[in-house]
Amino acid sequence: MSNTNFNDILNEIASSKAPLTSYSPSRKETVQMLPLTLSQQKSIIETSVDTTLAALFFNNTFFKILKQNVKDDISKFDTVDRVQFAIQLRSQLSNKYVNNGQEYLLTDVLEKNKKTNHNIKESQIVSDNYIFTVKNPSLVLDDRINSILINKYKNENLNGTKLKNLISDLFVHEILKFVPKLKVNDKEVELHHDLQGAANLLERIDSSKFVEITKYINDVRDLEKSFAVLPGTNINIDIVPDFFIV
Amino acid sequence: MISNYFNFNVNNKNVKLREVSFYEYKNICKKILTDELDDLNIVFNEIIEATTKGPSLNCLEKFQCLMLLRNLIYGKEFNFIYDDKKIHTDLSLLMNGVKFDIPDICVESDGVLFTFNTPNNFYSKSMDDVIVDSLKKILIKDREINCSELSFNQRKQLLDELSLPIYETFLTLKEKLQDLNITFYKDATINIYDGSLLLFLKRVFQDDMMNLYSFEYACIRGLKLSAMDMERYTYPELKIFLQELTKEAKNNKPKPDGIDIEQ
């Protein structure tokens, strides 16, 4: 087939492609997105290969997909939205989700989530002379920080000291994701401008100052999980590469 | 280069197949020394490209052409080791057992009907490659797109514009494509997409390089042929020439008393 004829067919298919309508819990509005392509599904499945960094790879890959498929400014959305978007894209491939032999419909989860309240707000945590501004990270920030860690550790043999370093880095960078500003003795620092410098700064702070921040982070992670709960159960869907193997 | 084409009927397709010269055959043997499936895939596709004329072929039709080509060089006999025993077999038995296609495999997703059948390539290294390579038709809103004549990349582009569950589709294809497996000997079968087709082709084409070089040397020395001549004659032809020369030499052998009978 000539390239002109082929391009005509391709354009025709592309223009007739119906976007999915999803819902953003953080924005409380509908979002249009394109379904997962074959190569996007493949790239998700491939992220399950590396076990230690699998979660980071998966989130990184999934962010790239959302950037391509979401027909809106991706920087508007946060990590809670990611759960809803993932379930939406997966439901397009197959609406059925099986857990312990029991079948569930993902559209039921998506409907339930429209009524679930996204109640995490930006706030300030005071610990002695430190004032931390805490906020749920956007998908863009989450991706930037995950990329730093992936680049640092992807070629490393993760055992012994390297593994300890990774765990310590994961902790510091997790805090960093949630803390955009830090005020110490009237001096305010924007932490998300220079991520590497900010990580170094956080490493120097006594970890007892992070107790309240960790609670805030846990609240956000719990909220994310609540968006993955199957209605009428306490079963959580794990948003991992295997979820997309249908 | 040899330009003598034979007509063959391969799965009801009229295929013209060209003999290869000794020079081409020697190069094939060199190129298939590798065990890398990607490299073997390229080599065997290049052979098909260089020796066949006619409609596009799926992997089993290509396989059949390569077996025909091999038979032109060596005849139908093939020896191999199975269960520590040397087995002599006739490759035409294997060729007669090749099933070229199966009933269409249809998968519906998001209102689009995808039709699959025998893949085109000898080997697919990933799930999505099997899917792309086996795609024959797409029916979208009453419009049928025939994908058989599209390149691999064009089919990949089309599938990337549509939503198809990769794993479920792959499992369906894997199950149905098993019916195309070629029974080689007893329980030994050749799978059509996991690379075993290529490894089998390598086995039937491979030759001892030292034997080939010795043979070439004998041709150059005995038949007074040049390197260019090796591109004009086939391996079987050169074997016949050498046999004739040997016969002639035997007949011209001087008598024990030292009197040459030809003199």
In a domain, B95, yes or no: no
Residues near A78 by beta carbon (within 8 Å), at least 6 away in sequence: A26, A136, A137, A138, A139
* Mean of pLDDT values over B173-193: 88
Q: What integer pLDDT is reported at residue B260 of this predicted model?
A: 47
Cross-chain Cβ contact B156/A38 below 8 Å: yes
Instruction: Give pLDDT tens digits for B64-92.
Output: 999 999 999 988 888 888 778 888 888 88
Q: Provide the domain count of chain B.
A: 2
Rounded CA gap, B51 and B47, in Å? 6
Residue B146 forms part of a structural domain: yes
Other C-beta atoms closer than 10 Å to the C-beta of A82 total 20
Is residue B99 situated within a structural domain?
A: no
Instruction: For residue B137, tell me if it sits in a domain.
Output: yes
With 70 as the cut, is the pLDDT of residue B190 above it?
yes
Q: Are A192 and A82 a contacting pair, CB within 8 Å? A: no
Confidence of residue B206 (pLDDT cuts 50, 70, 90): very high
Q: Name the residue with higher pLDDT: A160 or B47.
A: B47
3-state secondary structure (DSSP) of residue A138: strand
pLDDT in tens, chain A (246 residues): 666 688 888 888 877 778 899 999 999 999 999 999 988 999 998 888 767 788 899 999 999 999 999 999 999 999 999 999 999 999 999 999 999 999 999 999 999 999 998 888 999 999 989 999 999 999 999 999 999 999 998 887 777 788 888 999 999 999 999 999 999 988 999 999 999 999 999 999 998 999 999 999 999 999 999 999 999 999 999 999 999 988
Chosen domain end from B163, B180, B197: B180
| Mean pLDDT along residues B28-54 | 95
* In B32-79, alpha helices (H): 37-51, 59-74
ipTM of this complex prediction, to 2 decimal places: 0.75
Domain boundary among B133, B162, B180: B180
DSSP string, B229-250: GGGTS-HHHHHHHHHHHHHHHH
Q: How far apart are CA A185 and CA A130, in angstroms?
A: 7
Write down the pLDDT at residue B257.
55
Q: Do A92 and B126 touch (CB under 8 A)?
A: no
Give the pLDDT of residue B4. Answer: 85
Q: Which residues of B touch A41 (CB under 8 A)?
A: 128, 165-167
| pLDDT over threshold 60, residue B262 | no
With beta carbons under 8 A apart, name residues in chain A contacting B110. Answer: 35, 92
Q: What is d(CA B57, CA B52) in angstroms, rounded to the nearest whole number?
A: 10
- Is the pLDDT reported for residue B212 higher than 70? yes
On whether residue B186 sits in a domain, the answer given is: no
Taking the CA of residue B122 as centre, how many other CA atoms within 13 Å lie in the half-sphere pointing to its CB?
26
| A243, closest residue in chain B (CA to CA) | B167
- Note down the domain range covering B156: 105-180
